[in-house]
Amino acid sequence: MKKIQRQRIDFLDTLRCIAALLVIFQHIGEKYFSSFSYFTTHYFQFGMFGVTLFFLVSGFIIPVSLQKKTSLKKFWIKRFFRLYPLYIYSIILAIIFIGLGYYTQHHELLPVQDMLLQLTMLQKLLGIPLLVNSHWTLSLEMLFYISVTLLYMLNILRYSTTLAFVVLTLALSGGIILQNGYGLLLYFSMMFVGTVFYKFTSGQIKKLPTFLISIYAIFCITIISYVNMFGKNDLSEYGARNFVPATSAWILALLIFIVFLAFRNYNYPRFLLFLGKISFSLYLAQAVFISSVPYIFNEYFTVAITLFLISTSSVITYYYIEKPFVNIGNKIVNKKYIKKQLSKTI
């Protein structure tokens, strides 16, 4: 692998690390510490910051393979083996904790139909209850995969700047007119903004269009937040519905991504890179364990136990579920590619 490609991956892995840790920080803090709950409700929403980073990273890397003439079949095979094995594991883990009576999000299993619909990853968009709260982000990820697939088939995926502008405008319009679901629309648009950043780094888009899209994204964030949240002082969801903490989280995530983009050739610490590699495992594990670990002695001991379980299980699932199945997906794709090339030569 070329050095520049390796550094680009390092830059993204570091952002994934930050995103995963801050989501964990948000969920643990809001559950156990009232002072943290007050801060995040009034000033800064760490979870929204982390999730926005995740979506920007997804937008940066997902369309790349399709832009390089990768077949849709190969794209979906790799996506399936990248996401579904670990996703199904997180569902099984939640079911086990529900059976043991430790899972505070649900005290009993969802109806069979709702459980089956969890496998689509679109349950949040279908209005189906979430078995695991953090799975809502995967619904947007899946919607993004479907969208880029359709855009690729229509041969318009390459118009990244225009697509980002259109999706941001739709988010802005929806946020102003509907005043409902504005967060999902905004998160979804961030993935298209991430694609613009990739095109900039690869030399396909110049500085001015990239700068204008960034400014427009900040404008959309501010207006959507103002219309839907300003002056409401909603104490639920730990700042996710308050103007200052939500707006600061969204805008700062965008700015931090741009800063890391500028320093993408920097050599990041290996520990951060490793956490970035296992970030998907961390993200899925945290939701289940934070909801399931009972209160033991005091807040600090409970948090320590929770972090130990999250980190240990994530390392195990990365090496025994996530990485092996990613390799299987790559082998299937490469095997089909080799067969295709051989058939051409015969």
For the chain, what are the domain ranges? Answer: 22-263
Which contacts (CB < 8 Å, 24+ apart) does range 182-185 have? 182/224, 182/228, 183/240, 183/246, 184/124, 184/125, 184/140, 185/224
Residue 105, exposed/middle/buried by CB under 10 A (0-12, 13-18, 19+)?
middle
Residue given tokens 């890179």 in the structure block: 273
Among 63, 56, 66, CA closest to 213: 56
DSSP letter, residue 238: G
pLDDT the model gives residue 69: 55
Report the predicted TM-score, pTM, of the whole model to 2 decimal places.
Answer: 0.93
pLDDT the model gives residue 251: 98
Tell me how far apart the alpha carbons of residues 116 and 118 are, in angstroms, rounded to a whole number.
Answer: 5
Evaluate whether 329 touches 81 at the Cβ level (below 8 Å): yes
* Phi-psi domain of 237 (left: phi exceeds 0; alpha: psi -120 through 50; beta: other): left
3-class DSSP state of 55: helix
pLDDT the model gives residue 70: 65
Mean pLDDT by 10 residues, the chain (346 residues): 54 96 97 95 97 96 70 90 96 94 89 94 94 95 94 90 96 88 93 95 93 98 95 87 96 98 92 96 96 93 97 97 95 68 43
Structure token digits, residue 296:
């033991």
pLDDT the model gives residue 8: 53
The number of CA neighbours under 13 Å toward the Cβ of 105 is 24
Residue 158, exposed/middle/buried by CB under 10 A (0-12, 13-18, 19+)?
middle
Among 83, 93, 29, 97, CA closest to 279: 83
Among 120, 256, 289, CA closest to 190: 256
Among 79, 64, 120, 133, CA closest to 290: 133
* Phi-psi domain of 313 (left: phi exceeds 0; alpha: psi -120 through 50; beta: other): alpha
Evaluate whether 282 touches 314 at the Cβ level (below 8 Å): yes
Structure token digits, residue 60:
């940066």
Among 6, 17, 8, CA closest to 280: 17
DSSP letter, residue 142: H
* Cβ neighbours of residue 54 closer than 8 Å, sequence gap 6 or more: 16, 19, 137, 283
Largest interatomic CA distance in the chain:
71
pLDDT the model gives residue 179: 73
Tell me how far apart the alpha carbons of residues 56 and 254 are, in angstroms, rounded to a whole number.
Answer: 8
Evaluate whether 284 touches 300 at the Cβ level (below 8 Å): no
